[in-house]
């Protein structure tokens, strides 16, 4: 079993991350590079959780052997013998041979660093960029990530100045690497404290208040009212952006050099708006002979970015609204069935998604 547990968990975690990504993502609509980067990020996160117990058990066993081998010596006249240790070390089934875990953790750590600080932020900004060329998207992504990278460089610079001023340290490449790791860990711990500080209070409080009768239903009503306002704002914003796109599409005809940019913007619009703004091939005009004022490429880049943001916001609020409605209907059904004498849980609205057969078997409507 030497190293077999590690290999099995590595394979198991990979298929677990792949299954979850397939469950919550859409492979057909996403780019392959996005799928690979997301799968790798999820895979590394799950690896840390699953492999850490193996590393801990192996470390405990190695320390036990070290304690047994370094037992104190007994003096018997002119002879010195090692005192037999009564402690016994049991080799765990998840034992990992020496030399594997340091290499494993280095690969996981530096790959996670590359994904966290370089690849994923750059891909996110690249996808949200309004540029129409690869060069323009890369330039926009670099500018947007300047603040993100600037925070890291600020922490790194503070550590670097401290080491350079301190006479006890001799600045070398290994120390620069250590400073970079310390700066990254400092930033990560800062975010962790902020997020974990909220979660440690909110999660137990939500479960505690969830046991109160009617509390979750009233809280869901409050969330629904708040989300409805946000949903209406997103729809209004999308309508305004689509109106601007319609005006631009009507002003820039099909022999205009910027028409390709307009077509790219139209592809990002929802299907119902694309049908409304369907182009008429007979509407062909020579733009050189007219003195109309046409939008510039810079303004089209800005409009393209606004379209991407407004469409994403609209879709996000639609999904959140649907989930919240299902939760509200379920809580209302719970409140109604609490006073029912039939001891049969009756749903007012059935879910559109088919339920799992295993859940149906254990979670029956009969009380």
CA distance 85 to 64: 11
Whether 218 and 207 share a structural domain: no
CB 259 within 8 A of CB 349: no
CA distance 367 to 76: 76
246 located within any domain? yes
Rg (CA), the chain: 30
Whether 155 and 198 share a structural domain: yes
- The two tokens of residue 335 are 């409140």
Element (H, E) at 351: none
CA distance 297 to 281: 23
Q: What pLDDT does residue 190 have?
A: 80
Domain interval for residue 139 = 130-211
352 located within any domain? no
- For β-strands 79-82 and 73-76, DSSP reports them as antiparallel
Whether 47 and 122 share a structural domain: yes
**How far lies 272's CA from each of 43, 231, 232, 239, 267, in Å?**
38, 18, 18, 12, 11
- The two tokens of residue 206 are 């939500």
Residue where a domain stops, chosen among 159, 176, 211: 211
Q: What pLDDT does residue 314 have?
A: 94
Q: What pLDDT does residue 290 have?
A: 52
Q: Please write the tens of the pLDDT for every residue from 12-43.
A: 999 999 999 998 888 888 888 889 999 999 99
- Fill in the DSSP letter of residue 76: E
CA distance 296 to 333: 55
Whether 14 and 96 share a structural domain: yes
Mean pLDDT, the chain, whole residue set? 81
340 located within any domain? no
Whether 115 and 146 share a structural domain: no
269 located within any domain? yes
pTM exceeds 0.75, yes or no: no
134-139's contacts with Cβ under 8 Å and 24+ in sequence apart are 136/301
Residues forming beta bridges with residue 74, ordered by sequence position: 81
**How far lies 322's CA from each of 22, 87, 308, 318, in Å?**
21, 61, 21, 6
Proportion of the chain above pLDDT 90, given as a percent: 22
Q: Please write the tens of the pLDDT for every residue from 218-239.
A: 988 999 999 999 999 999 999 9
Residues forming beta bridges with residue 344, ordered by sequence position: 366
Evaluate if residue 350 carries a pLDDT over 80: no
Residue carrying the six token digits 């600080």 = 117
Whether 143 and 120 share a structural domain: no
Compare 241 and 271 and report the one with higher pLDDT: 241
* Averaged pLDDT, 88-111: 87
How many other CB atoms are there within 10 angstroms of residue 183's CB atom? 20
- The two tokens of residue 44 are 């590394």
Give how many domains the chain has, as a whole number: 3
Evaluate if residue 288 carries a pLDDT over 70: no
Evaluate if residue 134 carries a pLDDT over 90: no
Residue where a domain stops, chosen among 211, 245, 265: 211
Compare 50 and 79 and report the one with higher pLDDT: 50
Whether 174 and 268 share a structural domain: no
Residue where a domain stops, chosen among 164, 185, 211: 211
Evaluate if residue 281 carries a pLDDT over 70: no
- The two tokens of residue 161 are 């100045």
Residue 34 phi, psi (nearest 5)? -65, -40
């Amino acid at each position: 079993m030497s190293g077999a547990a590690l290999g099995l968990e590595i394979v198991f975690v990979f298929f677990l991350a792949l299954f979850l990504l397939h469950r919550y993502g859409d492979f057909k609509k996403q780019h392959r590079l996005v799928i690979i980067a997301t799968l790798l990020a999820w895979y590394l996160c799950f690896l840390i959780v699953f492999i850490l117990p193996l590393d801990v058990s192996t470390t405990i066993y190695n320390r036990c052997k070290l304690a047994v081998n370094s037992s104190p010596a007994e003096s018997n006249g002119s002879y010195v013998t090692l005192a037999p240790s009564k402690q016994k070390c049991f080799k765990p089934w998840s034992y990992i041979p020496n030399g594997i875990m340091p290499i494993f953790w280095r690969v996981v750590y530096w790959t996670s660093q590359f994904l966290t600080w370089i690849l994923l932020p750059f891909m996110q900004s690249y996808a949200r960029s309004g540029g129409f060329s690869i060069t323009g998207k890369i330039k926009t992504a670099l500018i947007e990530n300047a603040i993100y990278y600037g925070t890291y460089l600020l922490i790194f610079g503070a550590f670097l100045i401290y080491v350079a001023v301190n006479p006890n340290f001799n600045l070398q490449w290994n120390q620069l690497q250590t400073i970079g790791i310390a700066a990254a860990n400092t930033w990560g711990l800062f975010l962790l404290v902020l997020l974990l500080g909220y979660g440690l209070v909110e999660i137990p409080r939500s479960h505690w208040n969830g046991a109160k009768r009617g509390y979750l239903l009233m809280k869901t009503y409050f969330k629904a009212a708040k989300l409805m306002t946000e949903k209406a704002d997103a729809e209004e914003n999308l309508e305004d952006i689509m109106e601007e796109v319609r005006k631009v599409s009507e002003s820039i005809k099909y022999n205009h050099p910027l028409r390709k940019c307009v077509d790219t913007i139209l592809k990002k619009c929802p299907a119902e708006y694309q049908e409304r703004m369907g182009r008429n091939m007979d509407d062909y005009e020579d733009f050189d002979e007219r003195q109309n004022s046409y939008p510039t490429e810079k303004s089209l880049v800005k409009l393209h970015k606004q379209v991407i943001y407004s469409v994403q916001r609209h879709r996000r609020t639609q999904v959140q609204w649907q989930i919240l409605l299902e939760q509200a209907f379920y809580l209302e059904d719970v409140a109604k069935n609490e006073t029912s004498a039939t001891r049969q849980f009756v749903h007012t609205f059935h879910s559109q998604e088919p339920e799992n057969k295993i859940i149906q078997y254990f979670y029956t409507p009969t009380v």
